[in-house]
Each structure stands twice: as structure tokens, then as C-alpha cells.
Amino acid sequence: MTASALTLALRQLEYTLDTLGPDAFPGDTSTDQHYQPRRLQDSAAGANVGWTTGFWTGQLWLAHALTGKVKLRQAAQRQSASFIARLEQGFDLEHHDLGFLYMLSCASAHQLTAQPGAHAATLGAAQRLLSRFLPGAGVIQSWGTMDDVEQRGRVIIDGIMNLPLLHWAARASGNTAYTEAARSHLRRTRAHLVRPGGSTYHTFHFDAHSGAPLRPSTHQGLADDSCWARGQAWGVYGFALNHRHLPEMNLLADAMQLADYFLAQLPPDRIALWDLSLPHDSGEPRDSSACAIAACGLLEIAAQLPEGAPRQRYHNAALDLLEALTQHCAGRLPASGGLLRHGVYHRAANLGVDEATLWGDYYYLEALARVAGHWTPAQL
């Protein structure tokens, strides 16, 4: 299954590259099942703006590592150069998604080709992420400028996926402030965004000065107290990745608890509804991207467990999810049809509903590459 699924996924990726060219970044999601050059804010079509462009460059780096194709490397290098420029210009960086943006582009560019400027840009991005740490609250603020009254002290579960950038910077610089910020953020995320039973809140508000826990809320979920499927998946993979760097926190236990909850909520076809609190017969759309992220998380959990039944169980669960994704969601449309169909970006805002998503495509490809034994772990 995996080898043919991987071949198909790589073909879809090349279709999009050939259709859009090496410099244009696709939209966050496909539009009517095909990616177009992104149009966000007032930027030119295809510009490097928003939180998801790293998933496109990351796919190109991963595909190059898998195939050795020069065309893929050249496109990934050109795009990584645009990430270096974006940092120099300070363009659209007032958010925590610097980990997604710079680990998948510049850290990979440095690791795979020692691209000039890529190491410095990754470190610069990490400094920016660290500057979002609120010492009184012990968390990294997720969204908005640091004086944004709405967003001040707010944390979203997705944030722990950006922390590998801090671990990378700690290793590159020897500065333990990166590690301590990550540790504190994880401690507070574990205490306030994970509920008893292993489900998660999407976001949580802390008092920025005292650190007092204020209230949970959601942005993309069904309700403040529901369990947004992609948030749960970010939690599974995020805790598992951070466990590698902070084993003394035993974050693998959190990753496993969240994974068990995620798996228990899946409908019979194994593709999660966009919110895990929705009844399976609600007729609401699936979010395949949540399952792709969860599959990577399950593989990461299995990779860190010793030989034995639990390791096998998580590995098998990942293979089950991948098989379901390939069967029900693998993209087979030419031009710019994407790797993984049937994702949801933001249901309530009617954004990217039942479309391919750049992050779903990226994690589907990463999971297939992991199973094939070819994953290049820039983020570890």
C-alpha cells in the first residue's frame, strides 16, 4: 500500500509544482479541488505570506530527499531563499507559527544542502518565537502582536508543534533560555488545555502578568468545550515530538492519552469529522488533515516506545489511518489537485471546506515517508 500511495502522492506534488511554477506559493487550501497561487492580505499572487507556506516548501524538501530530483531541490532552494528574505523584511511574522514556517523550509535547507543564510534565518525565527514568551504567564502567546488586548496571554493547542524550533535553536546556540521557555509552555499547556480523559480545548486564555488561568475558548472548533479534531491531532504529534527533547517531562504519556482519545472517536471509515464531538451521522464534513497529523504522531509515539505490545499497537493504528486516508482521500486529480482531499480549514467561516490543505498534504507525505523509512527528521 505505502509504496504505491507514495508514488501517487509524489506525482500529485509534481503536478502542482509544474502547474504553479517554482516560485508561487499555493493557497492554504485548494479552491474547487485545485490549488491556485495564494492571495492573502494585500500581497501579490503567490507571495510568501500566511502561516502555511512552509508546508509547501517542506513537501518539496521531503520529495527531494525521497527522489533526489534536481527540479525539486531547485524549487525548494528558491522558496527557502524567500523565507530568508521574509525574515529580513520582518514580513507577517507576528504569530507563533514560525516553527511551521522555518523548520520545514530553512532548517531543512540547511540540513540537506547547507544553503547559505538558512541557518541564520532559522535562528532568527527562533529568536522571534522566544520574544513571544510572557514570563509572568509562562507561555508563548500564539497570535497577534504582543500588545493585542484580545490575544494577549492566549495559547492554542497547535502551539506545541512550533516548539521544535526552540529546541533546534537551543542546540545550535547553547542558549538554554529556548529550552526553558518550551518547558514552561508545555507544562502550562498540559495543565490547562488537556482535559481529564485526554480530550483538548482548542485555546486557553491566561492573565499575561499573573499567569492566572482565565478560560478556555475555541476559534475553529464546534464550541468552547468541544474537541476540535485537528487541535487534538496537533496535541498528539506535538507532545510526542517534544518528548524527544524533554524526556524527563514524560510527555509521551500525554501524547498516548490524546492519541487514545482521538482513535476512540473515529467513525467506522477512520476519517475524523472536523470536530470529534460531532455525532458520526451528523452529515458534517471530515477533516482528513487531522488524520494525517495524527498518523505522524502515532508513528512518532511508536518510534519512541520500547519493543513490545504498546509500540506495535500505535504503529498499527498509524498504518490503519494511512490506509483509510489512501483509500478515501488520496488525490488523483491532475494539474494542482493536491495529495490529500477532504480536509477542512475552518468550518464556521466556510474556509477550505472539503478541500485539500497544504498541511494535510505535507503530513500525509511525511507519514508515508516515515513508513517507507525515508523521513529526514529536520525537526528532531
Footprint on this chain of ligand GLY (rule: CB under 6 A): 158, 220, 230
Rounded alpha-carbon distances, angstroms, from residue 284 to 64, 222, 344: 36, 11, 10
Which is catalytic among the residues 28, 97, 275, 287? 97
Q: What is the closest distance, in whole angstroms, from the C-beta atom of residue 288 to ligand GLY in the complex?
A: 13
Q: What is the closest distance, in whole angstroms, from the C-beta atom of residue 4 to ligand GLY in the complex?
A: 29
Q: What is the closest distance, in whole angstroms, from the C-beta atom of residue 158 to ligand GLY in the complex?
A: 4
Nearest residue relative to ligand GLY (C-beta): 158
SS3 88: helix
Which is catalytic among the residues 28, 92, 158, 361? 158
- Grid coordinates in use for 185? 509552555
Amino acid at 126: A
- C-alpha 275: how far from its chain's center? 17
CA distance 29 to 93: 20
Nearest residue (CB) to ligand GLY, 92 versus 158: 158
Nearest residue (CB) to ligand GLY, 78 versus 346: 346
Nearest residue (CB) to ligand GLY, 154 versus 313: 154
- Grid coordinates in use for 30? 485548494
Q: What is the closest distance, in whole angstroms, from the C-beta atom of residue 230 to ligand GLY in the complex?
A: 5
Contacts of 247 (CB under 8 A, 6+ apart): none
97 part of the active site: yes
Buried b (16+ CB within 10 A) or exposed e, 219-230: bbbbeeebbbbb
SS3 251: helix
Q: What is the closest distance, in whole angstroms, from the C-beta atom of residue 294 to ligand GLY in the complex?
A: 13
Nearest residue (CB) to ligand GLY, 143 versus 168: 143
Contacts of 376 (CB under 8 A, 6+ apart): 61, 62, 65, 108, 111, 112
Q: What is the closest distance, in whole angstroms, from the C-beta atom of residue 220 to ligand GLY in the complex?
A: 6
Sign of CA dihedral 290, 291, 294, 295: negative
Count other Cβ atoms within 10 Å, centred on residue 166.
28
Nearest residue (CB) to ligand GLY, 86 versus 230: 230
Question: By C-alpha distance, which of 320, 150, 345, 140 is closest to 229?
Answer: 345
State residue 352 phi and psi, 5-degree precision: 55, 50
287 part of the active site: no
- Grid coordinates in use for 287? 477533516
- Grid coordinates in use for 63? 520529495
Active site residues: 97, 158
